[in-house]
Structure 1
Amino acid sequence: MPDMSLILVVVILALTFDFINGFHDTANAIATCVSTRAIRPGVAIIGTAILNFIGAMISTGVAKTIGGDIVMSPDLINEMVIISGLIGAIIWNIVTWWFGMPSSSSHALIGGMIGAVVISAGTAALNDWGIIKIVLSLILSPISAMVVGFVIMKLIFAICHSYKPARVNLTANRLQIVSAALMAFSHGSNDAQKSMGIITLALVSGGVIGTLEVPTIVKLLCAAAMALGTSVGGWKIIRTVGGKIFKMHPIHGFAADLNSAVVILTATMLHLPVSTTHVVSGSIMGVGSAQRVKAVHWDVARSMVTAWVMTIPCTAVMGAVSYLVATSLFGGGL
C-alpha cells in the first residue's frame, strides 16, 4: 500500500517549490518591461500570473523529462528521497531570493534531487545520460540566448537606424507589452512542469499510478501554485535583472523579451527543461553587448554566473543532508 501521508508531503512541498519558483522568477517575465516603464508593475505582475497559468497547461513533455531522466527507475527511490531533494531546492531558492540573486530554480531542483538520490541509493541509481541531457540544456540555453540576443539586437539596430530614436522607443514600448506577454507564457510552459514531473515521479514511486503520465489535477495544482507565486512578485530580483546588468531602453527590453520567449518555447517543444533566469539574463547580456560591450555591468554578471555554478553542488549537499536528517528523525530510508 502506498504511504499517502508521505505522498501528500511531496505534493505540498512540490507546490511550495512551485510557488517560490513563481515569485522568485517573476523577474524573468517582467523585469525588462518594468525597468523600461512599458507596463506598470502591478498590471505586469497580474498579467504574468494569468499567462503563467495558461502556459503551464499546454504541455507535459518537460515534466516527463524531469520525472524520468534523473533516476534509472522510480522503483529505486521513495517519497523520502523526493522530499529531501525538494527541501534542498526550497532552502536554496529562499536564500538566493533574500539576497536578491537571480539563481536558477531548475538547477536547484536538479541538484537537490541528485544529492538525495546519491546519499540514499548511490550513484548507480542516477540516469547518467538523462542528467547530462538536462544539464546540457541548462548550460547551453543561456549561451544561445546571449548569442541570439546579440544578433537580434544588431538586426533591429540595422532596421531602425534611419528612424528617430523617439519614434523607435515609442513603437518598442508598445511591442514590449506583446513580447513580455509571450515571455510570461513561455515561463509557465517550462517552469511549472518541473514540479509536475516531481509529483508524478512520487506517484509512480509510491504505486499510486503506473506510468509517468501527468494527471490533470497535478497540472492544475502546479499551474495555480506557479501563478499564485508569480502574483506575489520577487521585487529584489526584478531590480537586479531589470537594472543592474544593463541600463535598458524599450528597444532593448523588446529584443530581450522576444529572444528569451523564443528560446524557452523552443526548449519546451523539445521537452527540455531550461532555466528562465539564465535565459533572460543571457538575453539581456547579449542585447547589452550589441549596444556596447562596456555598457554591460560584467561584475554583476560574474556574480550571477558564480551563483549559477554553485547552485547544483550546493543544493546537492542540501538534498543529501536533508535526507540524512529526515531519515534519522522519521525513518523511511531505503
Structure 2
Amino acid sequence: SPFDSSFVVAVLVAATLWVLAATLVRLPVSTTHAILGAIMLQGIFLFGLSSLAWDFLVIRILLPLAGGPLAALIGIYLFERLTKRPQVPGKEKPKWVELAHWGSAAATAYARGANDAPKMAVLGGFFLVANSVESVWVPYSIVAVAVLVGSLVLGRRVAQTLIGRAFPLDYGQRLRAGIATAALVSAGAYFGAPLSTTHVHAGATAGASGLKESIRWALRGMVLPWLVTLPAAGLLAIGVAVIGPRLLALL
C-alpha cells in the first residue's frame, strides 16, 4: 500500500542521510544500526510499542548485533593470550603474509556483502513485483553497484579516520583479526543474524592488540551506535514520515 511504501521510503532516506552525514565528517558508523533505528522508532511512533515482535527482535536481531563485537574481542583476546609467543627481534616478515592480508580483506568484504547487502536490498526489493526474477537480482545488483561507487567516492575519508586510530599490531595479529572478522560476519549471514562488520572488526583488532586503550576505544565504539546512531536515524525516519507527505502535498 502507499502507506507501507512511505514507511520504507522513510527508512531508506533516514538511514542514507545519517550514514552520508557521518561519512562527510569522516566518522565510521554502522549502517545496520541506522536501518534498525529507522525501522524501530518509526514503527513505535506510528503504531505503538506493541507493533513490534519483541521476542524475535531481541533474540534474532538485538542480541547478535550487540554480542558479535564482544565475541570477537573476547575470543581473539583469549586466543592471543593462550598462544602468545616471544617476539624475535629482526625477524623478517614471511613473503606470503602480504597475500594473506589481501585474502583476509577480500574475505571480510565478501562477508560484509553477504551480511549487509540483504538489509538494504530487501528494502529496495519491497517496491518490485513479488516473485519476479527482478525481485531477486535487481535489488542486489543496485546495492552492489552503490556500495562500490560509495567506496570509491567517499570511502577514503572514513578509511583515513580508521587508519589514524589504528593501534600497533604485528602481521600475525592483523591477519588473525581479519580472519576472525570474516568468519564471524559470514557465520552471522549464514544463520540470518545481522552483524556490524565495522564493530566486529574493531572488537577483533582490540582483542588482538590486548592494549587497554584499544579495548576501551573498541567498547566505546560498540556503545555509541546504540546511544547515537540508532536513535538519530530513528528520529530522522519519523521526521521524514511526518514532514515528507506535507512537502509533497505542496508540490
TM-score in terms of structure 2 length: 0.85
Which amino acid is the alignment partner of residue 109 of structure 2?
A
Which aligned pairs between 1:287-302 and structure 2 lie closer than 5 A? 287-289=208-210, 293-294=211-212, 296=214, 298=216, 300-301=217-218
Query: How many Å separate the matches in 2 of 1:276 and 1:235?
Result: 17
Q: CA deviation at 1:326?
A: 0.9
Query: How many Å separate the matches in 2 of 1:240 and 1:157?
Result: 29
1:285 aligns with 2:206: yes
Query: How many Å separate the matches in 2 of 1:265 and 1:238?
Result: 22
1:197 aligns with 2:114: no
Which amino acid is the alignment partner of residue 110 of structure 1?
L
Query: How many Å separate the matches in 1 of 2:116 and 2:102?
Result: 21
Which aligned pairs between 1:167-178 and structure 2 lie closer than 5 A? 167-168=92-93, 170-178=95-103
Residues 175-210 of structure 1: per-residue CA shift (max 9 Å, x gap):
21211111111111111111112123444xxxx326
Match of 2:224 in 1: 307
Structure 1 contact 197–214 (Cα < 8 Å) conserved: no
Structure 2 contact 104–178 (Cα < 8 Å) conserved: yes
Per the alignment, in what secondary structure is the counterpart of residue 157 of structure 1? coil
1:81 aligns with 2:7: yes
Structure 1 contact 114–319 (Cα < 8 Å) conserved: no
* Change in CA separation of 1:121 and 1:196 when aligned onto 2, cut-off 3 Å: same
Which amino acid is the alignment partner of residue 316 of structure 1?
G
Q: CA deviation at 1:143?
A: 0.5
RMSD of the alignment, in Å? 2.7
* Change in CA separation of 1:152 and 1:249 when aligned onto 2, cut-off 3 Å: same
Query: How many Å separate the matches in 1 of 2:181 and 2:164?
Result: 17
Task: Work out which of the residue numbers 140, 153, 173 in structure 1 matches 2:67.
Answer: 140
Structure 2 contact 122–139 (Cα < 8 Å) conserved: no
Task: Work out which of the residue numbers 48, 60, 63 in structure 2 matches 1:122.
Answer: 48
Structure 2 contact 26–157 (Cα < 8 Å) conserved: yes
1:150 aligns with 2:77: yes
Structure 1 contact 195–222 (Cα < 8 Å) conserved: yes
1:320 aligns with 2:238: yes
1:253 aligns with 2:174: yes
Which amino acid is the alignment partner of residue 225 of structure 2?
W
Which amino acid is the alignment partner of residue 67 of structure 2?
L
Which amino acid is the alignment partner of residue 38 of structure 2?
G
1:271 aligns with 2:198: no
Match of 1:237 in 2: 158
TM-score in terms of structure 1 length: 0.66
Per the alignment, in what secondary structure is the counterpart of residue 167 of structure 1? coil
Match of 1:93 in 2: 19
Q: CA deviation at 1:156?
A: 5.5
Structure 2 contact 207–215 (Cα < 8 Å) conserved: no
Per the alignment, in what secondary structure is the counterpart of residue 82 of structure 1? helix
Which amino acid is the alignment partner of residue 30 of structure 2?
S
Which aligned pairs between 1:43-82 and structure 2 lie closer than 5 A? 78-82=4-8
